[in-house]
Structure 1
Amino acid sequence: MMNRLRVAVGAVLALFVQGVSAQDYPVRAITLVVAFPPGGPTDVAARMLGEQLAEVLKQPVVIANRPGAAGRIGSQMVESAPADGYTLLLANTVTHGMLSAATKPPPYDPVKGFTPVMRLFGYQALMVCSAKLPVRNVEELVAYARSRPNGLVYASSGVGTGAHFAGEMFAAMKKVRAVHVPFSGSAPAMQAVLAGDVDCSFDGLARAQIDAGKVRPIATLGLKRDPHYPDVPTLDEAGAAGFDLGLWQGLLAPAGLRSEVLATLERGLQQALKAPELQERLKLLGLYPLPGTGADLQQAILRDISRYQRLARELAITFE
C-alpha cells in the first residue's frame, strides 16, 4: 500500500514539475541545430533567426552545426533529444524530403520523429557556373557539356541534397552526361566552382560571388525569376519545361513536445519574424517568409517525401 502511494505521489509530482517547467519555458539556453556546415543557406538563416528569437524569449539561442551525411547526423541528434523545447532543428527540403527519399533505409522518421513547429522561409537556388567557363546561358552550357568527354561536372553539398537532385534532373531533362562531385556542404562546393575544379553548382546564397563576377548565373531553379537577377531565366523558361526545385526551411522539435512549449515557440517565432531588420536581411539573401503553421510544415514534409521518393527512383539517386 505504501509503495503504491509513493508511486502515485511521484506521478503527481512529475506532472506538476512538467507543467511548471512548460509554463516557465524557456529558463535556459536553446540549442538550434543546423545539420550543415557554416556558411550555407540553412546556417545563415538559423543565425539570423536565432538572434531575433533570443531577444524575444530572453534566453540565448546557440547555433550548433552538426554537419555530415547531407544532414543525417544533425537530424538524428534532434530526433533523439529530449522533447523539452531546448533542442530544435532548422530543417529544410533536404533533411525532410530529399534525404529520407534517397536513403535506404531512412536514417530517421521525418514525420513521426519530430514535432513540426512552424514553416519559416522559402528560397530558390541558382544554377551558377565558373566564370572561367565559356558559357552564358543554358543553351551554351548544354552544347559545352555535349562537347566534353565527361559531360557536365557539377558540385553539390552531398549525396541526396538539393544540388544533387537539381544536377541529375537537369542532365535527364537536357539529355547530357553529368558527373556529380559531392562535398561536405554548400560552402566547399562553391569553392570548387570558384577554383574551376568543377563546371557549376546549384546554390541559394551565391549572390556575393555573382556580384563580384566570380561565378555566372545561368538559370533559376524555381518557376519564378529571381528579383535580384530579373534577366536570368528559369530553367523552365530555358527549355527544361516543368523544372521546379523551390526549397523551404522550417523549425522542428523532437516528437512529443508539450503543447504549452509549442505555443510559446510559435508566439516567439511570430514576433521574431516581424522584426524589420530580420526581414531586410532575409530579402537581401533571397530568403522570403513562408507564412504557415506547424500543420503547414507537416503537409510540406509529406508532399516532398512523396515527390522525392519518385524522383530518387527515376534518377537512381541513393544514399546507402
Structure 2
Amino acid sequence: MFHRTIAQRLALCALACLPLASASAASDNYPERAIKLVVPWPPGGATDALGRIMAQHLGQRLGQPVVVDNRAGAGGNIGTTAFLREPADGYALLMATSSTNAANPHLYRTPGFDARQDFAPVAFIAEIPNVLEVPQASPYDSLHALLEDARANPGKLNYGSGGIGSSQHLAGSMLRHRAGIDIVHIPYKGSGPAVSDLMAGQVDMMLDTGSMAHVQAGALKALAVASRERVPALPDVPTFDELGVEGMHASAWYGIVAAAGTPASVIERLNQELNAVLQEPQVREALGKMGAIVAEPGTPAGFGAFMAAEIDRYEEIVRVSGATLD
C-alpha cells in the first residue's frame, strides 16, 4: 500500500508542477496589467523626476501603464520596505538609489531590508554627479579661492545638505577629507530648504545633484563637478580631479530593481525595454537637462555587480562622515 503506481506518481507530479506552470505562463504573458514603480522619495526631487520619465516611456513600450507611487520617509527606507511587501512578480518595481541601496545599510542598524539579498537588479539608469555650488553673490569664483580661504580659516565656511546621511552630507564630508579642509555641516529637513538658503546666501556652499536649473538660470555658481569627466550640461565647469582634488567622485546613481525571486524572463524583458528607453533621444535629452549621465545598455548581472561594489564603497564614505541615523 506504500508503493504508488507509475500513473499515480505522474499524476502527483503533474499536480505539484501546476503552480510552476502557472507562474511560467504568467511571466510569458507579462505584462497583463498596470505596473507600479515605487519611488521612495517625495514628488519633486531628482529620483521622482527620473522615475516619471522612465515610467512614461517604459509603459509605452510595454503596452501597459507604469504608475509612480511615491512612498517617502526615513531616508527612503519606508518606501523600500513597502515595495518588498509586494509579490515578486514584476508588477511592482523600485527606483533604487545610491542612498537607499548603498549608503543606508551603513547609516541604519536596521534599515528594514537586506541590500544584498532582497533585490533583483534590472537596469542601471543614470548617475547625477554632485556639483559644488555657491550663491551668485559669493566672493568665490573658483574652487582654488574657496579652498584657500577654507584652509586659512578653519571652521569659517559651512555647507548645507538635505539632512544627516543625505547625498549632499556625504559628498561634503568627502570634500573635507579629500581637500583637507575644516568646513561646518548644516543639515536641513530636505534638499529644497537647503537650496533655498544657499541661493539666499544663508549657507556658503552645497554639493548637490538637483540644482542644475538654478545654475543654468544664474542663481547659483558652479565651481566643480564631482565626477571623472565633465558633465555635458555644464561643459565649462571642471572636475575636482582637473582642479587638483583627486578622487573627489560623488554621484547619486539611479536604477530599477525588482524583488528577489521575480521570474528571470520578466527581469530580462524589463532590462531589454529599459535599455531601449535609454536610447530614445527624447529621454536622453530630458535626463541630460537634469545633469544626468545616462547609462549605456547593460545586463541585470552587470548592474548587480555595480550595486554590490557600491555597498562596499559606501561603508568607508559613511565611516568618514561619522553619520548614524538609528
Give the alignment's TM-score, normalised by structure 1: 0.89
C-alpha displacement of 1:310: 1.8
- Find the partner of 1:21 among 26, 31, 56: 26
Q: Which residue of 2 aligns with 1:314?
A: 320
Q: SS of the residue aligned with 1:219?
A: strand
Q: Which residue of 2 aligns with 1:82?
A: 87
Q: Which residue of 1 aligns with 2:141?
A: 136
Is this contact kept in 1: 2:160–2:205, CA < 8 A? Answer: yes
Q: Which residue of 2 aligns with 1:239?
A: 244
Distance 1:197 1:244 in 2: 26
In structure 2, what residue type is equivalent to 1:199?
D
Q: Which residue of 2 aligns with 1:286?
A: 291
- Label 1:30 to 1:182 Cα distance change in 2 as closer, same or farther (>3 A): farther
The aligned runs of 1:15-164 (5 Å cut-off) are: 15-145=20-150, 150-164=155-169
Distance 1:181 1:87 in 2: 36
Q: Which residue of 1 aligns with 2:224?
A: 219
Is this contact kept in 2: 1:158–1:184, CA < 8 A? Answer: yes
C-alpha displacement of 1:12: 4.0
Give the fraction of aligned pairs with identical amino acids, expressed as a percent: 34
Structure 2 portions without partners, runs of 5+: 3-8
C-alpha displacement of 1:184: 4.5
Q: Comparing 267-276 with 246-255, which one deviates more in the overlay? A: 267-276
Q: SS of the residue aligned with 1:251?
A: strand
Q: Which residue of 1 aligns with 2:6?
A: none
C-alpha displacement of 1:112: 0.2
- Label 1:166 to 1:13 Cα distance change in 2 as closer, same or farther (>3 A): same
Distance 1:281 1:21 in 2: 34
Q: SS of the residue aligned with 1:283?
A: helix
Q: Which residue of 2 aligns with 1:206?
A: 211
Distance 1:8 1:195 in 2: 71
Q: Which residue of 1 aligns with 2:257?
A: 252
- Find the partner of 1:267 among 241, 250, 272: 272
Distance 2:314 2:64 in 1: 37
C-alpha displacement of 1:186: 3.3
Is this contact kept in 2: 1:153–1:180, CA < 8 A? Answer: yes
Deviations 1:159-205 (A, max 9, x none): 32321111011122333333323344433432232233322222223
Is this contact kept in 1: 2:36–2:69, CA < 8 A? Answer: yes
- Label 1:71 to 1:15 Cα distance change in 2 as closer, same or farther (>3 A): same
Deviations 1:78-100 (A, max 9, x none): 23321111111111222221222
Is this contact kept in 1: 2:123–2:275, CA < 8 A? Answer: no
Distance 2:47 2:160 in 1: 18
Deviations 1:211-268 (A, max 9, x none): 2211110110112222333332222233322211244221111111011221221232
Q: SS of the residue aligned with 1:303?
A: helix
Is this contact kept in 1: 2:38–2:94, CA < 8 A? Answer: yes
Structure 2 residue 276 is matched with structure 1 residue 276: no
In structure 1, what residue type is equivalent to 2:305?
Q
Q: SS of the residue aligned with 1:167?
A: helix
In structure 2, what residue type is equivalent to 1:198?
V
Is this contact kept in 1: 2:178–2:247, CA < 8 A? Answer: no
Q: Which has the larger radius of gyration?
A: 2
Is this contact kept in 1: 2:226–2:251, CA < 8 A? Answer: yes
- Find the partner of 1:228 among 225, 233, 237: 233
Distance 1:54 1:227 in 2: 28
Distance 1:7 1:137 in 2: 75
- Label 1:12 to 1:47 Cα distance change in 2 as closer, same or farther (>3 A): same
Give the alignment's TM-score, normalised by structure 2: 0.87
Q: Comparing 99-108 with 53-62, which one deviates more in the overlay? A: 99-108
Distance 1:201 1:6 in 2: 67
- Label 1:24 to 1:143 Cα distance change in 2 as closer, same or farther (>3 A): same
